[in-house]
Amino acid sequence: MPTVLVTSANRGIGREFVRQYAQAGWRVIAACRSPELEADALRAMGNVRPIGMDVTDLVSVEAAARESVDPLHLLINSAGVIGQTGDGPGEVDYGEWSRVLDVNLMGPVRVLDSFAGRLEASGSAKAVAITSGMGSLADVQSPMAMMYRTSKAGLNMAMRVRALQLKPRGVTVAVINPGWVRTDMGGPGAKTSVEDSVAGMRAAIEALSADRAGSFLNWQGQDLPW
């Protein structure tokens, strides 16, 4: 039975990944900051083990990794925050920007680095970070959300570098844009349901081969411009 670790497993896209992978017969490690608040609901989805992890706290992430003794076949880094929207000239809250970068950029790197050994132990594993089309330098059509955009652009670069570093160790790394999804972050007017987005991303992950390491994909598995 393959094992997947999902971060931000208690809400939105992360929670739907937990549900769908558990339904498909995977062993799921559901990581979130306060698992005790969602433990019963998560376990009710199937073979799900909730664990505590704060992606902004290296001690927390490394402790979770030490407790995971089994090989890991898939890592899904889905934790993310949008940050404030008022980030024009003279409006920037630099503390808030640091927080967004910490969660969206450094958080996934902390998790991937800490669990790299568990991924390598499976012999052939995949690590996917949930990014955004707003992280594409080739597709900037709005001056809004500088904090969020820079965090996702940085995430894309970090994962592309890790893809080159981890490919020789049998770990295929990529980033996937879930699209505009109806979650608390995406809002009720978003185009795509969380169920459809996650189902599409699961298919894209399944099709991801080692020669596609470092890819920037949409939720339908198509390449996106960097």
Does 194 map to a domain? yes
For residue 78, give the 3-state DSSP assignment.
Answer: coil
Q: What is the pLDDT of residue 190?
A: 75
Q: What is the pLDDT of residue 44?
A: 93
Q: What is the pLDDT of residue 69?
A: 77
Residues of the chain with pLDDT under 50: none
Within its chain, how far is the Cα of 66 from the centroid? 20
User: In CATH, what number is assigned to the domain containing residue 83?
Assistant: 3.40.50.720
Does 45 map to a domain? yes
User: Could you report the per-residue pLDDT of 94-115, keeping only the tens digit for each?
Assistant: 999 999 999 999 999 999 999 9
Q: What is the pLDDT of residue 208?
A: 98
Q: What is the pLDDT of residue 180?
A: 84
Does 226 map to a domain? no
The burial class, CB within 10 Å (0-12 / 13-18 / 19+), for 191 is: exposed
Give the DSSP H or E segment for 126: strand 125-130
Q: What is the pLDDT of residue 144?
A: 86
Domain total for the chain?
A: 1
pTM greater than the 0.85 cutoff: yes
The burial class, CB within 10 Å (0-12 / 13-18 / 19+), for 88 is: exposed
Does 78 map to a domain? yes
Does 225 map to a domain? no
Give the range of the structural domain holding residue 166, as residue numbers without chain letter.
3-218
Does 99 map to a domain? yes
Q: What is the pLDDT of residue 162?
A: 99
